[in-house]
Amino acid sequence: MPVIEEIDSGIDANSSSNSREDSPTIKKNNMANMIEDDLDDIDETLSERLWALTEMFPEPVRKLTSNLVHGSVSGIKNFYRLGRSTMWVFFTSSAILVAPVLFEMERMQLEEAQRQQQRQILLGPSAAVSGGGGGMHSLGMPMPPHMAHR
């Protein structure tokens, strides 16, 4: 901390003069000491300063804080691990269960497109658009008997 030397100018302390004589002055050699002191403090890192601040708290508070931080970190790690496992199970199960259905639907659409193409080749362009030939629905199921005779 800088040492401040007051110089008495002989003027009464109640006067409202703001001259240089009223203000305290700092010796020049003390200024050099202050700069050296500041340079010595720079060697200390931020983590060292924060660690030193923990000493001002009582031991139970430090233990509670430490346990809380370690518990939070392990909780987040476990939650992340559980989330990864859950997502893996969900996506692999959906791929195994949904993929065959999608492949079958694609196969049925391809067969229907082939049937329409054959109809168009055999019966002409108007037969493919009407889609009523052969007594079959567009899904490959036979039409009920009362609708097939119309």
Quick check: is 92 in a domain?
A: yes
pLDDT of residue 91: 95
Residues 109 and 98: beta-carbon distance below 8 Å: no
Could you give phi then psi for residue 5, rounded to 5 degrees? -105, 125
Quick check: is 142 in a domain?
A: no
Which 8-state DSSP code applies to residue 95? Answer: H
- Both structure tokens of 93: 């199960």
Quick check: is 14 in a domain?
A: no
Quick check: is 109 in a domain?
A: yes
Residues 108 and 140: beta-carbon distance below 8 Å: yes
Quick check: is 51 in a domain?
A: yes
Q: 43 pLDDT band (50/70/90 cuts)?
A: confident
- Count the domains in the chain: 1
103-141 per-residue burial string, b: 16 or more CB within 10 A, e: under 16? eeeeeeeeebeebeeebeeeeeeebbeeeeeeeeeeeee
Quick check: is 40 in a domain?
A: no
Quick check: is 23 in a domain?
A: no
Across the range 83-99, mean pLDDT stands at 96
pLDDT in tens, 7-38: 666 555 555 555 555 555 555 667 777 766 66
Nearest to 24 by CA among 42, 40, 3, 44: 3
Range of the domain at 56: 45-124
pLDDT of residue 143: 60
Quick check: is 52 in a domain?
A: yes
Say whether 39 sits in a helix, a strand or coil: helix
Q: Could you tell me how far CA 23 lies from the centroid of its own chain?
A: 56
pLDDT of residue 4: 65
User: How far apart, in whole angstroms, are the C-alpha atoms of residue 130 and residue 137?
Assistant: 11
Count other Cβ atoms within 10 Å, centred on residue 30: 14
- Residues facing residue 21 across a β-bridge: none
More confident residue, 133 or 105: 105
CA distances from 124 to 23, 38, 96, 113 (A): 110, 97, 42, 15
More confident residue, 83 or 149: 83
More confident residue, 22 or 101: 101
pLDDT in tens, 45-88: 888 888 888 888 899 999 999 999 999 999 999 999 999 999 99
